[in-house]
């Protein structure tokens, strides 16, 4: 149609208003087509892009390059590198940042964003968060290999309210006493919390194994700290520390493989320092965990020993050597009763270290305080 409009004006000599009326276009468009033809010939009538020659509000190329550089640096060091995190870093550097949506579009255009499968909507999750620092600590153990493939365990303690990494410790293996020692060291630095949340690992609780209370349970109950556990096979309850494992391992994967546990511990210390004081956390409104941990008064344990009614009652039979076997704090102990009682059915009452052994007729055969340092508990000398 542009050719017909130009022909009607220049060849047929019709007025521009008349041509605009007959062809159903504006008079301004007729004038534009004629001017383009006179200036450029046939080429002037070809369709042209409507994209503006300049865009005053477009993000400067230098700023786009800086956004990409931050993304690459965060990725290279194994840190969270989403658009909101980049915006937080820009605000720290310059006091201002483009909108998160703008950063996301820039990253997409530069090829840093790949399509994700449809995920479960966030509205379907039931989220909880402690109202104060030290109101609840989460603790869990994960694994990381050394350079030679040797498996190493990492025990992480995380504050539920602030996501503050209270402690991150590497060891060949964590026993129940080692977990108790780790808690005591962490509490000495940060104070006893009001509560501790763990999974159902044997180093955290003996409730499902008939082994009495483990060392951590005894310490927490004595200090008035409420101990709670996730339900079996439901790691989402301890989701904050589980998510911390992922963030920590993503960073470790970018580091040289440690050859010793001490080398791994040095890496964990560096990561905890960055995580607590530098990394802006999405769940904290882009504050760091240290900022969130120090922003409110801290909760504390009651200090009053908790009576939890954790008494064990078991039916057993004295073996042919006159002994009973009892597990305490994940360790087996043998209690001497004498060969004269071999084969006798008994009732064993256990409350922490206090143990009473009775016959089925109610006769007290032995009353003792278990010595955890000894495998065999001999009879009292007469």
Residue 345 has pLDDT above 50, yes or no: yes
* 252 and 223 housed in the same domain: yes
* 157 and 254 housed in the same domain: yes
Residue 121 has pLDDT above 70, yes or no: no
* 35 and 88 housed in the same domain: no
* 25 and 76 housed in the same domain: no
207: left (phi over 0), alpha (psi -120 to 50) or beta: alpha
* DSSP string across 166-188: EEEEEES---HHHHHHHHHHHHH
* The predicted structure's pLDDT at residue 381: 63
Tens-place pLDDT, residues 59-84: 888 888 899 999 988 888 888 788 88
CA 103: distance to chain centroid? 25
Residue 348 has pLDDT above 90, yes or no: no
Mean pLDDT for the stretch of residues 140-146: 95
In sign, the C-alpha dihedral spanning 216, 217, 219, 224 is positive
* 137 and 108 housed in the same domain: no
Give me the domain span that covers residue 13. 2-45
pTM higher than 0.75? no
* 108 and 243 housed in the same domain: no
Mean pLDDT for the stretch of residues 307-314: 65
Task: Give 288's pLDDT tier (boundaries 50, 70, 90).
Answer: very high
Q: Which residue has the higher pLDDT, 358 or 134?
A: 134
Strand partners, 312: 350
Q: Look at residue 85 and tell me if it is in a domain.
A: yes
* The predicted structure's pLDDT at residue 268: 96
| CATH number where 265 lies | 3.30.420.10
* 373 three-state secondary structure: coil
Lowest mean pLDDT among 19-23, 146-150, 192-196: 19-23
Q: Look at residue 356 and tell me if it is in a domain.
A: yes
- % of residues, the chain, pLDDT over 90: 41
Q: How many of the other CB atoms lie within 10 Å of CB of 209?
A: 12
To which residue do tokens 């040289």 refer?
Answer: 256
* 155 and 258 housed in the same domain: yes
Number of domains within the chain: 4
* 218 and 343 housed in the same domain: no
The alpha-carbon radius of gyration of the chain (Å, integer) is 36
* The predicted structure's pLDDT at residue 382: 47
* 325 and 242 housed in the same domain: no
Q: Look at residue 350 and tell me if it is in a domain.
A: yes
Q: Look at residue 133 and tell me if it is in a domain.
A: yes
* 134 and 109 housed in the same domain: no
Q: How far apart are CA 194 and CA 136, in angstroms?
A: 6
Q: How many of the other CB atoms lie within 10 Å of CB of 208?
A: 11
* 323 and 369 housed in the same domain: yes
* 192 and 142 housed in the same domain: yes
Mean pLDDT for the stretch of residues 311-332: 85
Q: How far apart are CA 337 and CA 97, in angstroms?
A: 76
Q: Look at residue 296 and tell me if it is in a domain.
A: no
């Amino acid at each position: 149609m542009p050719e017909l409009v130009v022909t009607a004006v220049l060849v047929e000599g019709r007025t521009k208003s008349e041509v605009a009326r007959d062809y159903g276009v504006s008079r301004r468009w007729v004038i534009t087509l004629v001017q383009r033809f006179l200036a450029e010939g046939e080429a002037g009538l070809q369709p042209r892009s409507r994209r503006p020659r300049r865009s005053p509000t477009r993000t400067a190329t230098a700023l786009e390059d800086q956004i990409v550089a931050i993304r690459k640096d965060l990725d290279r060091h194994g840190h969270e590198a989403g658009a909101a995190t980049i915006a937080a870093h820009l605000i720290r550097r310059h006091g201002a940042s483009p909108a998160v949506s703008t950063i996301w579009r820039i990253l997409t255009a530069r090829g840093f964003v790949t399509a994700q499968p449809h995920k479960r909507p966030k509205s379907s999750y039931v989220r909880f968060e402690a109202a104060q620092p030290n109101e609840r600590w989460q603790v869990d153990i994960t694994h990381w290999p050394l350079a030679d493939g040797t498996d190493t365990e990492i025990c992480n303690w995380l504050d539920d309210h602030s996501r503050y990494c209270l402690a991150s410790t590497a060891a060949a293996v964590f026993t129940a006493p080692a977990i108790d020692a780790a808690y005591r060291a962490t509490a000495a630095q940060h104070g006893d919390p009001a509560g501790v949340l763990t999974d159902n690992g044997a180093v955290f609780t003996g409730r499902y194994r008939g082994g009495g209370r483990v060392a951590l349970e005894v310490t927490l109950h004595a200090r008035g700290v409420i101990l709670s556990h996730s339900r079996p096979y439901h790691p989402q309850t301890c989701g904050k520390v589980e998510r911390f494992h992922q963030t920590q391992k993503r960073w470790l994967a970018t580091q040289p493989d440690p050859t010793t546990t001490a080398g791994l511990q040095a890496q964990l210390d560096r990561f905890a320092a960055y995580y607590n004081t530098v990394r802006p956390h999405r769940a904290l409104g882009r504050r760091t965990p240290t900022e969130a941990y120090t922003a409110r008064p801290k909760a504390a344990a009651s200090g009053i020993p908790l009576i939890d009614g954790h008494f064990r009652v078991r039916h057993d039979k004295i073996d042919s050597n006159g002994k009973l076997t009892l597990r305490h704090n994940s360790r087996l102990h043998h209690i001497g009763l004498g060969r004269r009682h071999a084969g006798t059915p008994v009732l064993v009452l256990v409350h922490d270290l206090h143990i009473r052994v009775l016959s089925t007729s109610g006769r007290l055969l032995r009353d003792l305080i278990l010595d955890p340092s000894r495998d065999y508990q001999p009879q009292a000398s007469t």
